[in-house]
Amino acid sequence: MSKAPIVRGKTPPSQAEATRAALVIAALDLFGRQGFDGTSTREIAASAKANIGSIAYHFGSKDGLRIAAADHIVQTVQAVADQALNQSPDVSLGPEVARAQLRNMLEKMVGFIVASPEAGEIVQFILREMAQPSPALDRIYDGVFEPMHRRLCMMWESATGEPAESERARLTVFTLVGQVVYFRIGREAVLRRMGWQAMGTAESAKVASVAADNLEAILAARMRNAP
């Protein structure tokens, strides 16, 4: 049975759900920082201020908690994507509407990945999973990577006329997403080189502006080279 998404800052409906949510958040953080094998259930329970037996009660095992953390990532990213798009992309959309959707999606993506503290935990967790793939990575790929990439490719087709599933379109979308993710993966290097103390709203806006310029340059190049 699927669980309701965990929303920070809101009171869960029961103590059991509060405990479950705390365990997922603690696991997301610790698995990302220390790795799955390097994290004990005792550490997770202590971080969540929960009884160690609650892990077995809610998730069955440490592996079950890993899957729950992956599901939390899927729910969180889907919610961000839904906020960025008011409608599903469709090849029948006009080019200007599709381009506006791409710009909006890119801006929301930067705001979340660059400035949101939770995004750091999510990216760390995913990087660990990519280094040592498990069923949790399958959940994230099936719930986030593959559908979101297809969604963006469809928007790209609407904006440029380039077939969504062409190799070039798929690689272009990976490039657009990758430039944003770098600012989280390479966060410390960016802070030092830019002389920033943090990456908050102001810094995120500057990154978004450059990312938008890159998008416009790629779109313009595609239009010039269109048959």
pLDDT in tens, 12-31: 458 889 999 999 999 999 99
Asked if residue 114 has pLDDT above 50, the reply is yes
Alpha helices, DSSP H, located in the chain: 15-34, 41-48, 53-59, 62-84, 95-115, 117-131, 135-140, 146-160, 167-185, 187-194, 201-225
Q: What percentage of residues in the chain have a pLDDT greater than 90?
A: 78
Report how far residue 118's alpha carbon sits from residue 112's, in angstroms, rounded to the nearest whole number: 9
How wide is the angle at C-alpha 77 spanned by C-alphas 8 and 86, nearest 5°?
A: 105
> Given pLDDT bands bounded at 50, 70 and 90, which one contains residue 37?
very high
Report the chain's C-alpha Rg in angstroms: 19
Domain ranges of the chain: 14-60, 70-224
pLDDT at position 86: 60
Name the phi and psi angles at 171, rounded to 5. Answer: -70, -35
The architecture that CATH gives domain 70-224 is: Orthogonal Bundle (1.10)
Q: Average pLDDT, stretch 114-122? A: 91
Per-residue model confidence (pLDDT) at position 226:
66
Which two tokens mark 79?
Answer: 């919610």
**Would you state the CATH architecture of domain 14-60?**
Orthogonal Bundle (1.10)
Within 13 Å, how many C-alpha atoms sit on residue 76's CB side?
A: 24
Total Cβ atoms within 10 A of residue 93: 19
pLDDT band at 103 (very low <50, low <70, confident <90, very high): very high
Binned at pLDDT 50, 70 and 90, residue 33 comes out as very high
pLDDT in tens, 174-183: 999 999 999 9
What span, in angstroms and rounded, lies between the C-alpha atoms of 69 and 118?
A: 12
